[in-house]
Amino acid sequence: MNLYQLTNDYEAVLNMLYEEDIDEQMVLDTLESIEGEIEDKADGYAKIIKELLGDAEKIKAEKLRLEARQKAFENRAKLLKDNLQNTMTQLGKTKFKTELFSFGIQKNGGKQALTIDGDVPEEYKKLETDTEKIRTALEAGQELPFAHLEPRGESLRIR
């Protein structure tokens, strides 16, 4: 339903604009071919512009609604996954297969979390603390009184 009553010519232009694969030059040529005074054409343009902006707002609101729904589903899936992982950990079952899925609790990959516990000596600083140099030293087994690596977290993998 149009916000404004459009003439047949401007209705056709609006319909062209709703087609994503339409050539923009074709739209401009069609607008140019519409007969009338500049004031009438300006009103036609303004009606189409307002209609498109109104539809854009509706789409924006729907996008926000869908993003919120997406987040809710992701949170619910995480809740279920965390609950299953906790149950498996409590039962001491860290790996098993069913007819449909394989379940396994594994150490997370990537770099271990690094915590700085005190003042960092200058040799471990650039302009700021050189965390990569600290991490490399700790991973090589060096004891540093000012830092340590955190234990790796775990997560449930379902395949």
Please report which confidence band the pLDDT of residue 27 belongs to, taking 50, 70 and 90 as the band edges: confident
Tell me: pLDDT of 122 over 80: yes
User: How many CB atoms are located within 10 Å of the residue 114 CB?
Assistant: 15
Mean predicted lDDT score pLDDT of the chain: 86
Lookup: tokens for 126: 């650039």
Give, in degrees to the nearest 5, the angle at Cα 51 between 50 and 55.
115
pLDDT recorded at residue 1: 45
H-run or E-run covering 149: strand 147-149
Decide: residue 145, CB within 10 A, 0-12 exposed, 13-18 middle, 19+ buried.
Answer: exposed
Residue 143 pLDDT greater than 70, yes or no: yes
Of 10-14, 35-39, 79-83, which range is least confident? Answer: 35-39
Q: What percent of the chain has a predicted confidence (pLDDT) above 90?
A: 51
For the chain, the structural domain boundaries read 1-93, 94-158
Please give the pLDDT value at position 82. Answer: 95
User: What is the per-residue pLDDT across 8-21, written as a single tens digit (0 to 9) for each?
Assistant: 777 777 777 787 78
Assess whether pLDDT exceeds 60 at residue 108.
Answer: yes
